[in-house]
């Protein structure tokens, strides 16, 4: 799938605890039908084969909505399932190595929280970066608070698109106006909601408003 930054508008990241009894496939389809533009499968508590099975099922759903499926931290799952790309943290595989393995057609994202690391990610072949925790977060205990000013500085210092992550929800998305964000990454605001479809629809409207104005 050819990468375009418009894919990043509403970046939905799965979380087993948030999804609970709603079910992974059902929740992802509800998110996409509501307006999510890209899905990242993040499930650190399962083995390789289970993760591949989850990726296979989600890939079919994502293709139905023409949305990329990104795998968190695991290049091997991308290779085995044909998922659209991988997202790597600072403690994961080097971006340069991932690009060598996956080639030019796959989407690669990286997590950064400084201008220096953002520039390095761009030079290393990342298609986009995720930066945060912009507002703090409940889903990653080790995430450090970044704030909107530092986030905006990162956006200004790279040419690749930057997605805001970390505690992003319908209340604080407007605070990202003018920062240069190309999208918002959400976990609990979508998958922890009672009505995933309606939450995704509202979040997409807010995301579009800070990306495109209006």
Give the model confidence (pLDDT) of 142-173 as tens digits.
567 899 999 999 999 999 999 999 999 999 99
* Confidence (pLDDT) at 65: 98
Mean pLDDT of 192-203: 98
Radius of gyration for the alpha carbons in the chain, expressed in angstroms and rounded: 16
The per-residue pLDDT for range 98-148, each reduced to its tens digit, is 999 999 999 999 999 999 999 999 999 999 999 999 997 666 665 678 999
Give the CA distances from residue 182 to residues 94, 102, 178, in Å, rounded to whole numbers and listed in that order.
23, 24, 11
The per-residue pLDDT for range 16-70, each reduced to its tens digit, is 999 999 999 999 999 999 999 999 999 999 999 999 999 999 999 999 999 999 9
The contacts of residue 45 (CB under 8 Å, 6+ apart) are: 16
Identify the CATH assignment for 5-212 out of 3.40.50.10470, 2.70.70.10, 3.60.20.10, 3.20.20.70: 3.20.20.70
* Confidence (pLDDT) at 137: 67
* Confidence (pLDDT) at 214: 58
* b/e 119-149 (16+ beta carbons within 10 angstroms → b): bbbbebbbbbbbbbbbbebebbeebeebebe
The residues pairing with 186 across neighbouring beta strands, listed in sequence order, are 12
Residues annotated as part of the active site: 42, 111, 140
Kindly report the average pLDDT of the chain as a whole number.
Answer: 95
The residues pairing with 184 across neighbouring beta strands, listed in sequence order, are 10, 164
The C-alpha atoms of residue 4 and residue 160 are separated, in whole angstroms, by 10
What is the pTM assigned to this prediction? 0.96
The contacts of residue 6 (CB under 8 Å, 6+ apart) are: 37
Mean pLDDT of 172-194: 97
């Amino acid at each position: 799938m050819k990468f375009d930054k418009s894919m990043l508008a509403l970046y939905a990241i799965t979380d087993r605890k948030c999804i609970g009894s709603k079910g992974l496939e059902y929740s992802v389809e509800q998110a996409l039908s509501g307006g999510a533009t890209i899905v990242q499968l993040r499930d650190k508590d399962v083995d390789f084969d289970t993760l591949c099975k989850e990726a296979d099922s989600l890939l079919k759903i994502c293709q139905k909505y023409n949305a990329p499926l990104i795998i968190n931290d695991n290049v091997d799952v991308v290779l085995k399932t044909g998922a659209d790309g991988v997202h790597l943290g600072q403690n994961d595989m080097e971006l340069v190595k991932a690009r060598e393995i996956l080639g030019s057609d796959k989407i690669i994202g990286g997590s950064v929280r400084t201008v220096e690391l953002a520039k390095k990610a761009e030079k290393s072949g990342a298609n986009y970066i995720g930066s945060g925790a912009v507002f703090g977060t409940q889903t990653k205990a080790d995430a450090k608070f970044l704030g909107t000013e530092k986030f905006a500085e990162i956006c200004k210092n790279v040419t690749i698109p930057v997605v805001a992550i970390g505690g992003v929800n319908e209340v604080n998305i407007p605070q990202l106006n003018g920062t240069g964000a190309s999208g918002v990454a959400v976990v609990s605001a979508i998958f922890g909601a009672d009505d995933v479809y309606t939450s995704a629809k509202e979040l997409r409207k807010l995301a579009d408003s800070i990306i495109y104005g209006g």
